[in-house]
Amino acid sequence: MLFNSFDFAVFLPITFVIYWFICNKNTKFQNFFLIISSYIFYGWWDWRFLILIIFSSFLDYYLGIQIDKSKNQRLRKTFLFLSLFFNLGLLGIFKYYNFFAVSFTEAFSLFGSEFRVNQLKIILPVGISFYTFQTLSYTFDIYKNKIKPTKDIFSFFAFVCFFPQLVAGPIERAANLLPQFIRKRTFNFDNAKEGLRQGLFGLFKKVVIADNCAIYANNIFENYEIYPGSTLILGAIFFTFQIYCDFSGYSDIAIGTSKLFGFNLKQNFAYPYFSRNIAEFWRRWHISLSTWFRDYLYIPIGGSKGSKYNKIKNTFIIFIVSGFWHGANWTFIFWGAANALLFLPLLLFNKNRNYIEIVAKETFLPNFRELTKIVCTFSITSLIWVIFRSESIFDTINYYSIIFSDSIFSYPFIIEEETNFQFLPKTIFVLIFVLISIDWLGRKKTHPLKKLELNFKKPTRWLIYSTLCFLIFIFKADQQDFIYFQF
């Protein structure tokens, strides 16, 4: 079920009414209802997906208790290993088996040998990468004695399958989200209003910006051979805003919807395109995943401690694994490696912790030096996204070769082919400018519309909300799946 679908527009208010007006007397009843609602939401794609998430929930609920109960360290490690084995094993089979099968076959064919590995005819369960990491963090934290396991099975199952953030995050930690299922919840009108504001802005980003940018980005990337470098630059920019508004839009809707039900999820995006270097970008982009890899992979293997060799090795490991998490394609691995190369000089010269605060925190506009750094970081990030969006490394190389040719100085054009574009590129860039302006004005808050409550009177706020609704209605493109559903 998509957030930007009619099905969800019906599902959400029905779930909200039953949750607060029928199930509000008992927390366990609320949790049980959330489990059923989340399974309906998730099973809307394919009911067979439910088998995996139910199995994963049972497994980590039981293993979490066993890890905590066991006094023998060897036995504790065994239970942790079982959690890793089954969770990563299922993820590996569904997401990576065919990739390795094809890669092995192609590797042997290079040496003139016939070696075939049968591929599996399976589909990737939606959101498996997200809820797998969420349950793994639970068993990891119990093993490290950071949290105690819950024996409330309804709370734990609801924590794993909570529908707003189930299929594309944020990837929540048990220490933050699980206690919210255990304690009693009461309806908070102000929190619900805040959720509606954030959800509205997320829907605007997805429907108005991401889906319209997708039309142009798809056309250019799928037909890049016929376009000059100037048009391919436009394609990279369109995709840069598509992926940001698509994913951060999902996160905003997820966080906003959660507030309607009395839950507070962590911020997942913090205005990444206002970053002044690549390290700041990665602190602000997909925060829940970046911090997950930092805490459960980067720090355990040594982090930035030790020799320069260790720093370089660990940096490449964390970025390449992060890239591979995104998908079973060599493009994601190279995308991760490219980001590691950009991040490494900052780490080696101890500049990776610069710019912790948002840009121009005490002023309205950035100074010239800050603006230059923002533009340079955005430009580099846009070029690196080309690797992420390309179908193969071969396409990436060709795309770059056209960009960095004489044709970059020609006038850009876009051929409509069979698709009649509803809006001109100039219109999309005007909408992108509106997005950037709203983001810039609200950059000091967890989401930009939060500032409206503090800085504008009620008539002005309602005018802004009405304008966003009008733009969603007018500029609604063909419905597009969220990009991160495939991961």
Strand, coil or helix: what is 278?
Answer: helix
- Two tokens at 190? 């102000």
pLDDT score recorded for residue 81:
95
pLDDT score recorded for residue 423:
65
- Two tokens at 189? 């009108």
Backbone angles phi, psi at 42, to 5 degrees: -75, -40
Q: Is the CB of residue 34 less than 8 Å from the CB of residue 162?
A: yes
Q: Give CA torsion, residues 374, 481, 222, 201, to 10 deg.
A: -30
CA distances from 86 to 80, 82, 317 (A): 10, 6, 22
Q: Which residue has the tokens 């094809």?
A: 102
Most distant CA pair in the chain: distance in Å? 73
pLDDT score recorded for residue 422:
60
Strands, E assignment, 380-450: none
Q: Cβ of 83: how many Cβ atoms within 10 Å?
A: 24
CA–centroid distance for 444 within its chain: 21
Q: Is the CB of residue 328 less than 8 Å from the CB of residue 92?
A: no
Q: For residues 472 and 251, give the distance between their C-alpha atoms in angstroms, rounded to a whole number.
A: 18
Residues 181, 187, 190: CA angle, nearest 5 degrees: 115
Whether residue 286 lies in the annotated active site = no
Whether the link from the prior residue into 170 is cis, omega within 30° of 0, is yes
pLDDT score recorded for residue 112:
60
Q: For residues 331 and 324, give the distance between their C-alpha atoms in angstroms, rounded to a whole number.
A: 9
**3-state per-residue secondary structure call for 270-287:** CCHHHCCCHHHHHHHCCH
pLDDT score recorded for residue 456:
75
Q: Give CA torsion, residues 396, 402, 404, 405, to 10 deg.
A: 160
Give the global pTM: 0.92
pLDDT score recorded for residue 292:
95
Q: Cβ of 65: how many Cβ atoms within 10 Å?
A: 17
DSSP 165-180: GTTT-----HHHHHHH
Digit-by-digit pLDDT tens for the chain (487 residues) are: 788 888 999 999 999 999 999 998 889 999 999 999 999 999 888 888 899 999 999 999 999 999 999 989 999 999 999 999 999 999 988 888 777 777 667 665 666 666 666 666 777 788 889 999 999 999 999 999 999 999 999 999 999 999 999 988 799 999 999 999 999 999 999 999 999 999 999 999 999 999 999 999 999 999 999 999 999 999 999 999 999 999 999 999 999 999 999 999 999 999 999 999 999 999 999 999 999 999 999 999 998 888 888 999 999 999 999 999 988 889 999 999 999 999 999 999 999 989 999 999 999 999 999 999 999 999 999 999 999 999 999 999 999 999 999 999 999 888 876 555 666 788 899 999 999 999 999 999 988 888 776 677 888 888 888 999 999 988 887 777 777 766 6
Residue type, 395: D
Per annotation, catalytic residue among 173, 284, 326, 389: 326
CA distances from 104 to 100, 111, 296, 330 (A): 6, 12, 29, 13
- Long-range contacts of 340-344, Cβ-Cβ distance < 8 Å, separation of 24 or more: 340/315, 340/316, 342/278, 342/380, 342/384, 343/278, 343/279, 343/282, 343/315, 343/319, 344/311, 344/312, 344/315
Contacts of 466 (CB under 8 A, 6+ apart): none
Residues 344, 349, 350, 356, CA torsion sign = negative
